[in-house]
Amino acid sequence: MGDLSRYVILRDRNADLRKRITGEAFGEAPGMAGVLGEAAGPRLGAAISTMLPPGPELDSADLTANEAKDAMRQGDVVGVVRSIPTALIVPKATAADAAATDTWGIGAVRADASPFTGAGVRVAVLDTGIDAAHPAFAGMTLVQQDYTGEGDGDGNGHGTHCAGTIFGRDVNGQRIGVARGVSEAFIGKVLNAEGSGSSEMMFSALKRASEERVQVISMSLGFDFPGLVKLLIEEEDFPADLATWIALEGFRTNLAMFNALMNMIRQQAVFDGGTVVIAASGNESRREIHPNYEVGASVPAVAEGCIAVGALQQGAAGLRIADFSNTNPDIAAPGVGVLSARAGGGLVALSGTSMACPHVAGLAALWWEATRAGALPANAGTVSMRLLSSATVAGIAPGVQVADRGQGLAQAPLSPIG
């Protein structure tokens, strides 16, 4: 997935009008939303969204470095970045995988005790695709978009497993899904069967997900910095030091692009309530070698507006952080010996922050439904706040550091909000 002449261009052609609508442009008087009052917000947002779908516009093109600089001078351009490799957050093989006989995570996050199912909530899964014929997704409306060139489907199995944990139906009497009432999902295939993709694919899928008006986005992937360095050295014959610097620039600029894109998506909350973005924190830590062998949460999990998820595993003294789970997540969830849908049929257990992330994505769907049933504003801000603030440290083993588990073990709502 390495074409170093490929650039992604982000534009915002509705910025001025959006600011006037929300009363933010040039310090002027409150816009329409402010004049009509907060109570009119949902009606106003629905009306405006039929007149002007706001949001980002993405283009991609093969450019020289000078052409990329020229593109940045265009008035509506927010960013121009070289497309860089992305990679699957690869599951880690553990003894718990072979021993798994049930979905212990469902009970750990209290999804089995929640009266909510995620009904009416739209979810997006940006991953390796999905096996749409699997019984776990029977009766669902799945909108699929392939960005890899392979076509729909899941030649890897990772995306199918993650989707099963988020909203999978029971398989042969075994519950696997946190939010079994979700009936509509957007499946963005941004990683191929080998688990490789590009930032262009990821940005395009994020834009499409926002156009699909999803309320939750789940991502278990990351920018592939080592892969980019390798590409520059092996295919472009760059010396190692120069390759590292160029890769660092690509990493930095793509993070800035991701933040800009996410900010534009968040600005759409005035129209549709917004989107909660959940991302896996990464599996690069090696605590089994030494307790201090820890790596910070990866990108995009640490990007502005994302909820980064760490992985917990069962232990004799309670739940503990998985050896591989990167540090500094916002929240944690079950991520070892997680039983879910296997591409081609049946179930399989996998371990990784990739498995923890869909637990929280499913919980976010439950919190959306609970918020809509209560008195508080049903928007991404409220859902994110309640999701994070409801996390618990009960059941977590003594000595687990805040930096490793974040707010604590994610929990499902047990009643309407407010």
Tell me the pLDDT tens digit for each residue of 323-363: 999 999 999 999 999 999 999 999 999 999 999 999 999 99
User: Residue 268 is which amino acid?
Assistant: Q
Please check the confidence at residue 100 and state whether its pLDDT lies above 90. Answer: no
Q: Do the beta carbons of residue 105 and residue 359 sit within 8 Å?
A: yes
User: Residue 20 is which amino acid?
Assistant: R
The model's pTM is 0.88
> Which one of the listed residues 12, 97, 114, 127 is annotated catalytic?
127
pLDDT at 2: 52
Span 38-47, average pLDDT: 46
Tell me the pLDDT tens digit for each residue of 352-369.
999 999 999 999 999 999
Q: ω before 115 within 30° of 0 (cis)? A: no
Q: Is 351 a catalytic residue?
A: no
Number of other CB atoms surrounding residue 98 within 10 Å: 9
Q: Is 127 a catalytic residue?
A: yes
> Which one of the listed residues 158, 204, 298, 390 is annotated catalytic?
158
Please check the confidence at residue 44 and state whether its pLDDT lies above 80. Answer: no
pLDDT at 350: 97
Tell me the pLDDT tens digit for each residue of 230-288.
888 998 899 999 999 988 988 899 999 999 998 888 887 777 899 999 999 999 898 88
Rounded Cα distance between 239 and 226, Å, is: 14
Number of other CB atoms surrounding residue 402 within 10 Å: 11
> Which one of the listed residues 204, 298, 340, 354 is annotated catalytic?
354
Q: Is 389 a catalytic residue?
A: no
Q: Do the beta carbons of residue 108 and residue 319 sit within 8 Å?
A: yes
Q: Residue for token digits 């994110």? A: 384
Please check the confidence at residue 152 and state whether its pLDDT lies above 90. Answer: yes
